[in-house]
Chain A
């Protein structure tokens, strides 16, 4: 068997998908041909190498960019994803990190400055001063509660007034809508017949019609 013919079937030989006779034939050739034997080994090495080919993780924003270019809607994210992205962004963001460090330093310095004062105040506390402080606090709370109650009453009164006004207006509108409509027959009575219409010209008012019917023009009906 020639090397070229072996090469063509080497792939199937490694996969053991050839008939038994051909498998035997290639086996014999490989035993006697160093080059084809080496090629067979490298082919098997190659099979195991494909797993090493990199599988890349696309940038997280790629899906967003695709969605914006197609449906025009950004990706929906779960609460967990949002929190993760915020935390990831925040922790990696140098400005946020600097801000957090400054805020922590500020809190520490403030505590350091305030703690002695608080300690000093607490040292002067007595039972009488605590009782008077509580009394003042209760009075203040009562006063605030009264103010809130007054405000509530005022707002309730306003609400009642506007509610009644609106309700009355609506009722009058409904009454107008439900008022009896003049029937077509009555309208027809008011329209003069053709022979009278020529006399009246453009003036079709009630007075003009009555005048034409009675023949008088006293002007009382107007």
Chain B
């Protein structure tokens, strides 16, 4: 029996444009945010998101349901393209564009309080800068675990490394960021 995602893929393969539209709508925001988390730039993320979906559309036939979930497959395709892009460009700025402009577009109304809002902006800035200082492996593991909320096994499948390696990378990444936080607290005497 086919699952929901498999049916959707089947429909896409039979030329159902509405089904493809559903896929784009369902994963568009996620892929865009994933790209942003790797690149820290909204303009690059938009281009990358488009390229990722073009690749997904062209390679839809290569998806095998028995090999894993459709979401994992999409994220793997996205991750590979982002890595390719990273290798081509060889550098990502740690922060891109205006923080203020980006924060305005944050889809979160949980912090109507200005002070809380400022704290969140400060925290997100720290995380972006902190992630930028990590090695690509540690950064990727943290992005997929903490921001994408993927399981260890999914991350292992996407990154094609053993699950133990994933756990180790995540732990090391967290420790590095916590150390950065310590330094920052010691330097500024403030807590985020």
- A residues lining the B interface (CB < 8 Å): 7-8, 10-12, 38-39, 42-43, 45-46, 49-50, 52-59, 62-63, 65-67, 69-71, 73, 75-76
Contacts and interface: CB of A to CB of B under 8 A. Distances in A.
Contacts of B107: 55-57
Interface in B51-76: 53-54, 57
Query: 9 nearest interchain CB pairs?
Result: A52-B123, A70-B57, A42-B178, A58-B32, A52-B120, A43-B178, A11-B171, A42-B181, A54-B106
B106 A55 contact: yes
Contacts of B84: none
Interface in B1-30: 17-18, 20-21, 24-25, 28-29
B33 to A, nearest CB: 6
Given A62-B49, A70-B53, A71-B57, A54 B178 contact: no
Interface string B105-116: 111100000000
Contacts, number: 118
A188 B181 CA distance: 108
Contacts of A59: 46
A43 B17 CA distance: 46
A155 B46 CA distance: 61
A76 B17 CA distance: 10
A43 B174 contact: yes
B57 A8 contact: no
Contact of B50 (A7, A11, A49, A62): A62
Contacts of A69: 50, 53-54
B128 to A, nearest CB: 8
Contact of A58 (B49, B108, B182): B49
A66 B37 CA distance: 20
B191 interface: yes
21 contacts: A39-B179, A52-B127, A53-B128, A53-B146, A54-B103, A54-B108, A55-B106, A55-B107, A57-B107, A58-B28, A58-B46, A62-B28, A62-B49, A69-B50, A69-B54, A70-B24, A70-B54, A71-B17, A71-B20, A73-B17, A76-B21
A76 B54 CA distance: 19
A76 B24 CA distance: 12
Contact of B124 (A43, A53, A75): A53
B121 to A, nearest CB: 8
B82 interface: no
Interface of A is mostly: helix
A58 B181 contact: no
Interface string B70-107: 00000000000000000000000000000000110111
B36 interface: yes
A25 to B, nearest CB: 17
B147 A50 contact: yes
A50 B175 contact: no
B117 to A, nearest CB: 10
B42 interface: yes
B50 A46 contact: no
B40 to A, nearest CB: 10
A7 B171 CA distance: 9
B24 A58 contact: no
Given A66-B49, A67-B21, A54 B124 contact: yes
A50 B174 CA distance: 11
Contact of B25 (A45, A49, A53, A63): A63
B192 interface: yes
A63 B26 CA distance: 10
A11 B170 contact: yes
Contact of A75 (B21, B49, B106, B121): B21
Nearest to B192: A49
